[in-house]
Amino acid sequence: MEIGEYQDVQHLKVRTPERSNIGADVNAGSVSDLFPKLVTMQRLCGSTAFALLTIQAHTLLKPGEIECAMQSSGSQDLVSKFLQGNSEFLLNHLFSSPCPVIFAPQSGAAFDCSPVSVVRAETGAATHLAFPVQLGTMGNGFVVFFDARSMLDNDLLIDLHRKSLTVMRERLRLAFGMTAGSENLNDREIECLQLVGNGMKSEAIGEQLSLSVHTVNAYLGSATTKLNAVNRIQAIAKAIRLGVIA
Amino acid sequence: MIARGSFIHDLEAHRKCGHLTGGMDLICAYAGARSYLLARTDLYSDRNHDFIVTSNWPFDLVRSFGVSLVDSEARTSEVRRCLQAFEPSFHEIDAAVELSSEYSRRMCLIPHNAGQARLLLVLLFDKDVSLSHDRLRDVALATAYHTSQFPEIVSNNYDLSDLTVREVECLSWIGEGKTSDEIALIIGISRNTVNNYITSIMNKTGAKTRSEAVAFAVRQRII
């Protein structure tokens, strides 16, 4: 992980030598430190505003939720108008395709980039870019740039998409640092939870891990307490949602 | 060296012709790799090899080494998976793995997501080849772009439609830690009916215990 971060710095430095100090903030201490990165990206595509949207995946019970987590100053109206018209499309797109989306005016220029999805809007004259990021159970969303005026080609798009991934990953890492409660679970507790989630009974788990049934139950009990759950089953549901077990 | 822009362009051409492996060969060439294995970690099973999407490794290597890689990736905690998604990482290949001497003992793993699929790309290299980390990051996205164009690869294979609304409702309350008695009180049906729903859920999802049924539902984003 650390090596990866180091290379992020390298990468930013190479690509934007005149603003190398921006890339140096890779080990960002707070979410606001991601701002300069987004600004750099915004400049790369000649856009006037950006927004970082986070998405809660839909389940059968509740529809997906899309929220604006960060945005450039003064873009509130722009973002809410954009979300009003495109929320449903964005939600569907994220869980069906990793390809960037270009929102272009009806009568605009054709784009020589693929495999991007181009959406032709009925109204408006600006070109917006949206980069889907799906890291897994968590860290899903879009990085959006409004009114992009740079020449769009595959090279620029993949570059911005990679930076979008980095920003979302960094954001998730920060979010995780703040809610480290579930990380207090020890290996045995996680192991037992995982096996219960796989449908094994305490007896079978005890046999597999060479523990007594009581020890297994004790581990599960302490895991339940640590996850602030009322019983074992809720503990499993919480653990999976938190990503402690698969 | 292939330029990035034209690489994505050529890859798109393979997609249009429906050439999955052609595109993978191109990805391999761009990465400077010798051979690849692409598998779905979310479909991992020890009973069959359907989770292997495509590979140009020798079959024996896929069956032994490839399967064990996917297995360990499938066991990775979701948090770690999310933080590592689209991020290439290098690993030494265990000395016990029999590999032709032309290969480098370093491999590259690239976990990534496309559509509903959780994928793992494993690249093997020639000996003494110099690797570009930068290019491998392009590869992570390019592979996701490429595979997402083949719906049969990235679709969700589970049929969830056979759970009824009532069953999902019960399941979600179980997931909240409620007992059968409490659920009966909440949705106003008898305890036995609740238990019947739960039995039916377990039959439909193939779960042996309530815990497994809830785990399945959370994983599949039902609740």
Q: Could you say which of B11, B118, B144 has the minimum Cβ distance to residue A98?
A: B144
- Give the CATH number for residue A27: 3.30.450.80
Look at residue A7 in the predicted model and tell me its pLDDT.
40
Helices in A29-123 by DSSP H: which ranges? 35-44, 76-94
Helices (H), chain A: 2-15, 20-23, 35-44, 76-94, 154-178, 187-197, 202-209, 213-226, 232-242
Rounded CA-CA distance A197/A218 in Å is 16
pLDDT band per the 50, 70, 90 thresholds, residue A21: very low
Q: Do domains B4-154 and B165-219 have the same CATH topology?
A: no
At A177, the pLDDT band (50, 70, 90 cuts) reads low
How much is the pLDDT for A26?
40
pLDDT at A5 over 50: no
Q: Phi and psi at residue B40, in whole multiples of 5°?
A: -100, 115
Same domain, A117 and A186: no
Between positions 50 and 89 of B, the ones with CB within 8 A of A are: 74-87, 89
Best A11, A62, A112, A134 member to test B by mutation, with max B CBs in 10 Å, is: A134
Q: Are residues A201 and A81 in the same domain?
A: no
Report angle CA A90, A91, A95 to the nearest 5 degrees. 110
Q: Which one-letter amino acid corresponds to residue A1? A: M
Largest CA distance in chain B: 70
Mean pLDDT, range A200-219, rounded to an integer: 93
Report, as an integer, the average pLDDT of A211-219: 95
Mean pLDDT of A48-62: 82
For the beta carbon of residue A32, count every other beta carbon within 10 angstroms: 9
- In whole angstroms, give the CA distance from residue A43 to residue B185: 58
ipTM of the complex: 0.80
What confidence score (pLDDT) does residue A60 get?
A: 63
Tell whether the model's pLDDT for residue A172 goes beyond 50.
Answer: yes
Return the higher-pLDDT residue of B9 and A131. Answer: A131
Count of domains for chain A: 2
Whether residues A160 and A71 fall in one domain: yes
Token pair for B133: 């980390």
d(CA A202, nearest CA chain B) in Å: 11
Bin B53: left if φ > 0, else alpha if -120 < ψ < 50, else beta: alpha
- Distance from the Cα of B202 to chain A's closest Cα (Å) equals 11
* Residue A179 scores a pLDDT above 70: no
> Are residues A94 and A163 part of one domain?
yes
Q: What is the mean pLDDT of chain B?
A: 88
Write the single-letter amino acid at A97.
S
Mean pLDDT within A132-149: 90
Q: Are residues A123 and A74 in the same domain?
A: yes
Q: How far apart are CA B117 and CA B39, in angstroms?
A: 10
Domain co-membership, A85 together with A199: no
Confidence of residue B221 (pLDDT cuts 50, 70, 90): confident
Closest CA to A45 of A161, A165, A167, A160: A160
Identify the CA nearest to A11 among candidates B6, B1, B141, B133. Answer: B133
pLDDT at A8: 39
> Which residues in chain A touch residue B144, judged by CB atoms under 8 angstroms apart?
98
- The whole domain housing A196 covers 181-242
Backbone angles phi, psi at A95, to 5 degrees: -95, 10
pLDDT tens for each residue of B108-157:
999 999 988 889 999 999 988 888 888 999 999 999 999 988 888 877 65
Is residue A93 domain-shared with residue A75, that is, in the same domain? yes
Do A61 and A160 have their domain in common? yes
Is the pLDDT reported for residue B89 higher than 80? yes
If asked whether residues A142 and A20 sit together in one domain, one would say yes
Q: Which two tokens stand for residue B163?
A: 């759970």
Residues A155-175 as b or e (16 or more Cβ within 10 Å = b):
bbbbbbbbbbbbbbbbbbbee
> Looking at domain B4-154, which of 1.10.1270.20, 3.30.450.190, 3.30.70.1450, 3.40.50.1360 is its CATH number?
3.30.450.190
Q: With contacts defined as CB-CB under 8 Å, which chain B residues touch A97?
A: 114-115, 148
Q: Which tokens hold the place of B118?
A: 């959780």
Residue A71: its H or E element: strand A65-71
Indicate if A144 and A228 belong to the same structural domain: no
The C-alpha atoms of residue B4 and residue B13 are separated, in whole angstroms, by 15
pLDDT category at A96 given cuts 50, 70, 90 is: confident
Chain-centroid distance of CA A173 in Å reads 10
Tally of residues, chain A: 246
Shared-domain flag, residues A24 and A124: yes
Band the pLDDT of A235: cuts 50, 70, 90.
very high
Q: What is the pLDDT of residues B151-194, one digit of tens each?
A: 888 776 555 557 888 898 899 899 989 999 999 999 999 999 99
Helix-helix angle B133-148:A2-15, to 10 degrees: 100
Where is the domain boundary, A142, A162, A178? A178
- Structural tokens at position B12: 């798109």
Average pLDDT of span B40-57 = 85
- Whether B9 has its CB under 8 Å from any CB of chain A: the answer is yes
| pLDDT of res. B149 | 86
Domain residue limits, chain B? 4-154, 165-219
Domain end among A122, A150, A178:
A178
Question: In this complex, is the C-beta atom of B191 within 8 Å of any C-beta atom belonging to chain A?
Answer: no
* CATH number of the domain residue A230 falls in: 1.10.10.10
CATH architecture of B165-219: Orthogonal Bundle (1.10)
- Claim to verify: residue A46 and residue A70 sit in the same structural domain: yes
Q: Angle at the Cα of A114 (from A110 to A120), degrees rounded to 5?
A: 45
Distances (CA, A) of A220 to A112, A241, B177, B179: 56, 17, 14, 17
| DSSP-assigned letter for residue A121 | E
